[in-house]
Amino acid sequence: MKKTATRLADGRELVYYDSRDDAVRDAVDRRPPAPTVTTGEIRRDALLGDSVAIASHRQDRTYHPPPDQCPLCPSRAGRLTEIPAADYEVVVFENRFPSLAGDAGRCEVVCFTADHNASFADLGEDRAALVLAAWTDRTAELAALPAVEQVFCFENRGKEIGVTLGHPHGQIYAYPFVTPRTERMLASAAAHRERTAGRNLFDDTVEAERTDGRRIVLEGEHWTAFVPYAAHWPYEVHLYPRRRVPDLLALDDAARTEFPQLYLELLRRFDLIFGSGEPPTPYISAWHQAPFHHPHRSEFALHLELFTVRRTPGKLKFLAGSESGMSVFINDVPPEAAAARLREVASA
């Protein structure tokens, strides 16, 4: 992998990731410099203990532009975009409309391909491996920032999820705090450790799913994918490396090599869940990594959670009163049935 860092006209960082060592990235952002204006701040909810990002400037972010006005496509004559180059493989840049900035963290955009009409599932294994390398490199770079406590790499796909740009891309959030979801996982792991004389909750969870077998979707030599026993979403898959590691940086070469094959297969199956006549399945794909400075960091298990808000053809799973008001999820699809369906629609 070759990494080439540069700056956009307004000073934001942009990084190209190329599979070829001889790739040359010398295009200059020729747009007029216009400083990025952010009004973000972090506020603490005294009742719940949650941190909330207040970011009013995001009201003005780009919203569903036509394909020929996409800011994530390569630049061309008469149409300058966020990416100065005429083509690219994978590129990462600071978000023009960040939820987190400065001492409050950092937000980045990850473009998986220059092809506006593609999706992650369309990528070949080599490109998916390059994206994994970019996620890993950004995790390392952002971990070095003084304010950052946790890095979250994720992809939102589909208008139903709230995506405002159709180009295949994801994001990276570098939080200045440990997220509430991660805090809950770590608290559950600590309670399990006390209750079981030192056993690891993540290891025991994965082993229980492998022993039961009914919710296993895919198994490789180095990864296991399953629908969790208490899945919150209609179709939800968790993907764990067999060897527990705290974050992407700690994955070994064997796990990195196998990941693209299994992950691409999962994404292709998601697009087949509801039948070939349905539009692409909207989803969120989220990497859970350990906080950098937590005392029990080594006990956390890196894993990816993939889920869709579509529950059946033409119908979405909305977060209604119980979910939004009390954080109690009600799932209409039994996890065992979801796993069976995901096995049934194998693309190979």
Are residues 91 and 38 part of one domain? yes
Residue with tokens 């996409």: 70
Average pLDDT, the chain: 95
Judge whether 232 is annotated as a binding position.
no
Are 65 and 126 members of one domain?
yes
pLDDT of residue 265: 98
The pLDDT, as a whole number, for residue 58 is 80
Task: Tell me what pLDDT residue 348 has.
Answer: 57
Q: Shortest CA distance to 281 belongs to which of 317, 330, 238, 229? A: 317
Residue 192 appears among annotated catalytic residues: no
For residues 34-53, average pLDDT? 86
Residue with tokens 């491996």: 129
Whether 203 and 135 map to the same domain: the answer is no
| Among candidate residues 233, 229, 224, the one with its CA nearest the CA of residue 203 | 224
Question: How confident is the model at residue 103, as a pLDDT?
Answer: 87
Final residue in a domain of this structure, among 153, 175, 197: 175
Domain co-membership, 168 together with 303: no
For 154, phi then psi, to 5°, come to -155, 165
Angstrom distance (rounded) from CA 249 to CA 137: 8
Return the pLDDT at 34: 79
Query: 126 and 218: one domain?
Result: no
Residues 212 and 327 in one domain: yes
Task: Report in angstroms the alpha-carbon separations of 66 from 109, 116, 131.
Answer: 19, 11, 26
Q: How many domains does the chain have?
A: 2
Angle at 124 between CA 121 and CA 129, to 5 degrees: 95
Helix (H, G, I), strand (E, B) or coil at 74: strand
Q: From 118, 147, 175, give the residue that closes a domain.
A: 175
Please check whether residues 39 and 98 belong to one and the same domain.
yes
Judge if 165 and 220 occupy the same domain. Answer: no
The answer to whether 70 is a known ligand-binding residue is yes
Tokens 């200059």 belong to residue = 28
> Residue 209 is encoded by which pair of tokens?
């799913």
Annotated catalytic residue: which of 57, 64, 169, 238? Answer: 169
pLDDT (0 to 100) of residue 39: 74
Give the domain-ending residue among 119, 147, 175: 175
Q: Which domain holds residue 160?
A: 2-175
Strands 2-7 and 106-111: unpaired
Q: Is there a binding annotation on residue 238?
A: no
Of all residues in the chain, the percent with pLDDT exceeding 90 is: 91
Q: What angle do CA 248, 250, 255 make, to 5 degrees?
A: 75
Nearest partner of 127 among 280, 250, 29, 20, judged by Cα: 20
Judged by DSSP in three states, 159 sits in helix
Residues 295 and 171 in one domain: no
Answer yes or no: do 187 and 75 share one domain.
Answer: no
From residue 177, give the alpha-carbon distance in Å to each of 82, 142, 150, 156, 247.
29, 13, 7, 22, 16
Based on the domain organization, do 244 and 297 belong to the same domain? Answer: yes
- Are residues 184 and 169 part of one domain? no
pLDDT digits (tens, 9 = 90+) for 226-252: 999 999 999 999 999 999 999 999 999
Here the CATH number for the domain that contains residue 206 is 3.30.428.10
Q: CA dihedral defined by 106, 110, 116, 121, rounded to 10 degrees?
A: -130
For the chain, list the strands marked E by DSSP: 2-7, 13-18, 41-44, 51-54, 90-94, 106-111, 150-157, 169-175, 216-219, 223-226, 235-241, 283-288, 303-308, 310-312, 315-316
